[in-house]
Chains A and B, each alone.
Chain A
Amino acid sequence: MHGDMAMLLLADSRLPAGGHAHSGGAEEAVRVGAITGPEDLARFLRGRLATAGVVTAALAAAACEVGARPAPERWQRLDAEADCRISAPAQREASRTQGRLLVRTTRRIWPSEALDSLALAVPDGAHHPVALGAAAAAAGCEPRQAALAAAYTSVTAPATAAVRLLGLDPVLVHRLLADLAPALNDAAHEACVIQADDWSDLPAHAAPALDLLAEQHLRTEVRLFVS
């Protein structure tokens, strides 16, 4: 099937959808001294994956299902489920910015009803995981593949950012990512457990430290990354 190939394209940081501009809180964590080396980074990534990563993966999987039978009301309801799971306004804004760019890019790569209907239903920009799931559906992925791509990018973006910000050994950081493989699989599995049209039970893991970092980051004068 084409799903595997599409999943690789969606998870690739070279996808021209602006993902490289976001560090997922890593830049601020480096600035305040919460990440100083590989050990801190490993703990940061594991925590991010278990919280924001799982939530993102679950929303992406649900969006991939919606993409198979798109309807404006379903997109709006799922987008509201994403909205109520992101407490920090800075993170909601970053998520919508990324979602808007992703829809714009992927509509040209995989023209489809799924993406057209999402763009119409949520004109201000859907949340990133909703956009990612819609793009995955458009590209022929299964919900599990959408979840994997979402969980994967939730840790690769901060990992790459940390390499650039701290001058870490990129090989060592990729080893940290490889060590996360079982946790990443578990996250995608957890994301796909609930697949009905009632999304109220989808995972909603909070990460209070990430919320604080996101808002502090907006107030920091010199920034390399948008979030």
Chain B
Amino acid sequence: MHLVATAAGPLDGDHLGLSIDVAPGTSLSVFSVASTLALPGRSRLTVTARVGPGASLRYSPEPLVLADGCDLRVDVLLSLAGDATAFWREEIVFGRYGEPSGRCRSRFDATVDGVPLLRQEVTAGDPALHGSPAVFASARCAGSTLLVGDLPREVHLAEGCAVLPLAGPGTLVSALAADTVELRRRLEWGERLADKSLP
């Protein structure tokens, strides 16, 4: 399935909601045809996904770009049944070329059989944290892919990318990069190491 945005945005006042149910034993892939450009003003994006027993979900839309002046709140809730699998990629770009980043607070919660697997928040565009060597360093974009399933529990490291087995049944590939091309290359490198069955 490809998401096709028929209007620019999200814009000031928009609240976009996406609800995904993957029925037991089925599989679904969600892509988008273009990046999402968050435009100036306050907006919200809420994604809720439920993946049933034996089902599989791949969610890998194109990057989210935070235009200067945006104030976006993203909430993602991913709930999986015990033997479900998932591949969930998110890429955030801190502003269009040459512009400072808009603001964004993104919260991601993944549970397996009700037990928390990963909870993480990303705050972008906060001038007080801009360029902190502890958070995004000098990166212009950040991304992560959560893979859930029966995966090898090995840590891998490369420049700007880490493959991190979580405490629960999943692995997080986390990357920082100067541009989206490099970010995608780093994430794909990590994804293939995290799940050797990927092409």
B197 contacts A by Cβ under 8 Å = no
Contact flag A215-B157 (CB < 8 Å), given A80-B116, A84-B116, A209-B176: yes
**A183 vs chain B, min Cβ distance (A):** 8
On chain A, the residues within 8 Å of B133 by CB distance are 29, 34-35, 40, 43-44, 47, 209
Total A residues in contact with B, Cβ cutoff 8 Å: 40
Contact B168–A83 (Cβ < 8 Å): yes
On chain A, the residues within 8 Å of B132 by CB distance are 43-44, 46-48, 50, 209
B43 contacts A by Cβ under 8 Å = no
Q: Interface with A: B24-32, B52-60, B80-88, B119-127, which one?
A: B119-127
Contact B129–A50 (Cβ < 8 Å): yes
Contact B118–A87 (Cβ < 8 Å): yes
**A54 vs chain B, min Cβ distance (A):** 9
B198 contacts A by Cβ under 8 Å = no
Contact B168–A203 (Cβ < 8 Å): no
Contact A85–B120 (Cβ < 8 Å): yes
Complex: how many Å from CA A208 to CA B115? 23
A89 contacts B by Cβ under 8 Å = yes
Contact A88–B129 (Cβ < 8 Å): no
Contact flag A47-B174 (CB < 8 Å), given A87-B120, A211-B162, A212-B162: no
Within 8 A of B (CB), among A26-55: 29, 34-35, 40, 43-48, 50-52
Within 8 A of A (CB), among B152-169: 155, 157, 160-162, 164-168
Interface of B is mostly: strand
A20 contacts B by Cβ under 8 Å = no
Nearest residue (CB) in A for B133 is A34
Question: For chain B, which range describes its interface: under 10, 10 to 19, 20 to 34, or 35 or more residues?
Answer: 35 or more
Contact B174–A50 (Cβ < 8 Å): no
What are the interface flags for A74-86 relative to B under an 8 Å C-beta threshold, 1 for contact and 0 otherwise? 0000001101111
Complex: how many Å from CA A212 to CA B121? 17
A216 contacts B by Cβ under 8 Å = yes
B135 contacts A by Cβ under 8 Å = yes
**B160 vs chain A, min Cβ distance (A):** 7
Contact B162–A47 (Cβ < 8 Å): no
Contact A215–B162 (Cβ < 8 Å): yes
Within 8 A of B (CB), among A150-169: none
Contact B162–A88 (Cβ < 8 Å): yes
B142 contacts A by Cβ under 8 Å = yes
Contact A204–B134 (Cβ < 8 Å): no
**B27 vs chain A, min Cβ distance (A):** 25
Contact flag A47-B129 (CB < 8 Å), given A87-B118, A212-B162, A215-B162: yes
A104 contacts B by Cβ under 8 Å = no
Interface residue from A81, A200, A209 paired with B136 (Cβ < 8 Å): A209
Nearest residue (CB) in B for A33 is B133
Contact B155–A205 (Cβ < 8 Å): no
Contact flag A80-B115 (CB < 8 Å), given A47-B135, A207-B135: yes
Contact A210–B121 (Cβ < 8 Å): no
B22 contacts A by Cβ under 8 Å = no
Within 8 A of A (CB), among B96-145: 107, 109, 115-123, 126, 128-129, 131-137, 142, 144
Interface residue from B122, B126, B128, B137 paired with A206 (Cβ < 8 Å): B122
Q: Can you report 8 residue pairs joining A to B where beta carbons are below 8 Å apart?
A: A35-B133, A40-B133, A47-B135, A50-B135, A84-B117, A85-B120, A204-B109, A210-B134
**Footprint of A on B, CB under 8 Å?**
107, 109, 115-123, 126, 128-129, 131-137, 142, 144, 155, 157, 160-162, 164-168, 172, 174-176
Q: A45-B134, A48-B134 provided; 13 other pairs, C-beta below 8 A?
A: A34-B137, A43-B133, A47-B134, A50-B123, A50-B132, A85-B120, A87-B120, A87-B164, A205-B122, A205-B123, A212-B157, A215-B155, A219-B157
- 9 A-B pairs with least C-beta separation: A47-B132, A47-B134, A34-B133, A84-B116, A83-B167, A204-B119, A47-B135, A206-B120, A48-B134
